[in-house]
Amino acid sequence: MFKIKNLRTVPRLLILMLDLSLVINSGLFAYFIRFNFNTKAFASYEIFPSVLMLSLHIFVWMLLTKTYAGIVRNTGIEDIQRLAGLFVGSYISYISINQFFDNLGFVSDWFMPNSVALIGVLLAFILLLAFRMLVKYFFQFMKGSKNTITKKRIVIYGAGDVGTMAYQVFENNVLSDYQPIAFIDDDNLKSGKRLFGKRIYHDLHGLKQLLDTGSISQVVIAIAEISKLKKKAILDLCAQYQVTCKLIPPPKDWVDSELSLNDVRPVKVEDLLGREEIKLSNEKIEFSIIGKVVLVTGAAGSIGSEISRQLIKYKPKLLILLDQSESPLYDLEQELKGQFESVSRKIVLCDIRDKSKLRKIFDKYRPNILFHAAAYKHVPMMEQFPEEAIETNIFGTKNLADLAVDFDLDKFVMVSTDKAVNPTNVMGASKRLAEMYVQAYGNYLEFQYVAGFTKFITTRFGNVLGSNGSVLPLFKKQLESGGPLTVTDKEITRYFMTIPEACQLVLEASIMGNGGEIFVFDMGEPVKIYDLAKSFIELSGKRLGEDIDIVFTGLRPGEKLFEELFNDYEKILPTYHKKINIAQVMPEDLISLQSHLQILEGMLFKKSKEVLVDMLSELVPGFTSSSYPRKNKLEDY
């Protein structure tokens, strides 16, 4: 008597017995087919012994090939190939044994004629395959009919290889809540044809036809390589009909090159930017990083942490992660430790305003390259505390730049912001003055003919999606709390990029720069924050004005309505990468700038905020604070 624990083997045994019964019946029926159902023609043959002999022969091959071991309801190409191999092998060996006995002069009635055996084997193959297909489609039918009403009727956008695999995953997976009803493809030759019995509609017009029916609950984009513009057009159309949209990533991102339900992901806001993602040179970056001691400041921040993640892949000799925030720094170190155990890392808890401690760190580890991402970036906060922005963004940068020269670093790569362009706030002005200092220092060293001088390189880009303090985390919190979403002004626009893109730019700049450049990323067209908020609501499955509202709060102190990527007095130069330009401006005189910074440093925490911003306005061309009206000039100090 079988125990419960042995129930697993019962189906295999049953399948084996069913297969054997089909083989026996195939052998019997083969005689009828061979002799055109004329029973008198094969009356002289030993039918039952010969059928039993063939069946036993095939049975042995079944045991060898384990054709009974598969899950019948999931029969696929490999199972069919195994069945074909079973019958080809069994037939060849059967006639070989028969011929062997014939050569010995031993003729047995227990061997059927080769022609009958061939028909029997082919018939058995057809019946076993039909049995498996019948079981498979029966289970699919039962699964499809079960909870059909509750399943999501979806359209697969893409009738190529990825779309085909997506359909099979949705149809064959028991856990799938999807019921594909149609395909969309932009290939005119496929339009109107059918795939898996489902009609293929043509491009956006076909998608609109289906959405007009009101029966589609979801669209799944299943195209290996799709442009951002095409993706945005699909998403915009889905948003109009308030239909959710999901994406299947390219095959290179699938686990073990197979697609699963887990790979189907919701659309992210960055998919709506309408700009192609920038891909940069990995080989050159690796050559410049491998075997070097690399220091990253602000390593626990959103930009610094991603720079660190990308750097460690290129196997530096030592990666130094420096930040003043202990918990995120610890978390980053644990993350990198788990993924890159072989690469040496060192976490350093330090404030870049502490020059004496920084000097000890430089002296101990002797870095070759420095990526400077530490900064205060929150515009309204820095308007309230200009002294903090000045001390960190300006003098923290100055500390690092001075030490980079003292310790002969190869490169100093600074992360800046588009808010440094024609600044109207303290944060932007402080970053612009930091740009001016490192550029002036690099220019000074070059024209002093200092051997092996440190190359100072600046990267400037706009807002980064998902970074600390950016608009998306704010929208997410507001959405979770029931809204409303807050936007300062309906017309406010910003340039956006993803965190990985921003960090790729920084790494590319580290190999592209010869010193003194300010690299600016071509970020495409600016995006209205109001449009971004609407898309965020739509992607969350909610309705603007019904489920959640958007309210306008007015521009905050120091905030611009439109951001820029170049100052009015900067000349734009191209580089070998069409998406990266150089903002060229005449560098400041280092000695004069150091003298003025010495005055500004002496005023910190001694003078009023108005006085500090006055001094900043005097030092940064084009900066006029909207929060602190001008009172004095540089010569008054």
Residues catalogued as catalytic:
419
Q: Which of 401, 298, 400, 317 is nearest to 357 (CA)?
A: 400
Which phi and psi angles does 294 have, rounded to 5°? -120, 130
Please report how many Cα atoms fall inside a 13 Å half-sphere around the Cα of residue 40, on the Cβ side.
Answer: 0
Angle at 347 between CA 342 and CA 348, to 5 degrees: 155
Give the separation between CA 64 and CA 16, rounded to whole angstroms.
12
Give the separation between CA 7 and CA 614, rounded to whole angstroms.
84
Name beta bridge partners: 456: 412
- Asked if residues 19 and 62 have their Cβ atoms less than 8 Å apart, the reply is yes
For 123, 607, 608, the CA distances from 381, given in Å and listed in that order, are 81, 19, 17
Give the separation between CA 183 and CA 422, rounded to whole angstroms.
50
Q: At what angle do helices 326-339 and 302-312 cross, to 10 degrees?
A: 20
- CB contact set of 540 (below 8 Å; sequence gap of 6+): 479
- Residue type (1 letter), 50: S
Give the separation between CA 247 and CA 231, rounded to whole angstroms.
10
- Residue type (1 letter), 223: I
Q: Is residue 484 reached through a cis peptide bond, with omega within 30 degrees of 0 on the bond before it?
A: yes
**Alpha-carbon 125 to chain mean position:** 45
Count of beta carbons in the 10 Å neighbourhood of residue 247: 22
Give the separation between CA 165 and CA 183, rounded to whole angstroms.
12
Q: Which of 159, 153, 227 is nearest to 188 (CA)?
A: 159
- CB contact set of 65 (below 8 Å; sequence gap of 6+): 82, 85, 86, 89
Count of beta carbons in the 10 Å neighbourhood of residue 394: 25
- Asked if residues 464 and 302 have their Cβ atoms less than 8 Å apart, the reply is yes
Exposure pattern of 62-88 as b/e (b: 16+ CB <10 Å)?
beebebbebebbebeeebeeebeebbe
For 507, 591, 628, the CA distances from 572, given in Å and listed in that order, are 21, 27, 31
Q: Which of 88, 101, 91, 511 is nearest to 284 (CA)?
A: 511
- CB contact set of 290 (below 8 Å; sequence gap of 6+): 314, 315, 316
Angle at 277 between CA 218 and CA 369, to 5 degrees: 140
Maximum distance among all alpha carbons in the chain? 126
Q: Which residue has the tokens 């990527």?
A: 565
Give the separation between CA 131 and CA 123, rounded to whole angstroms.
12
Q: Which residue has the tokens 């059928």?
A: 51
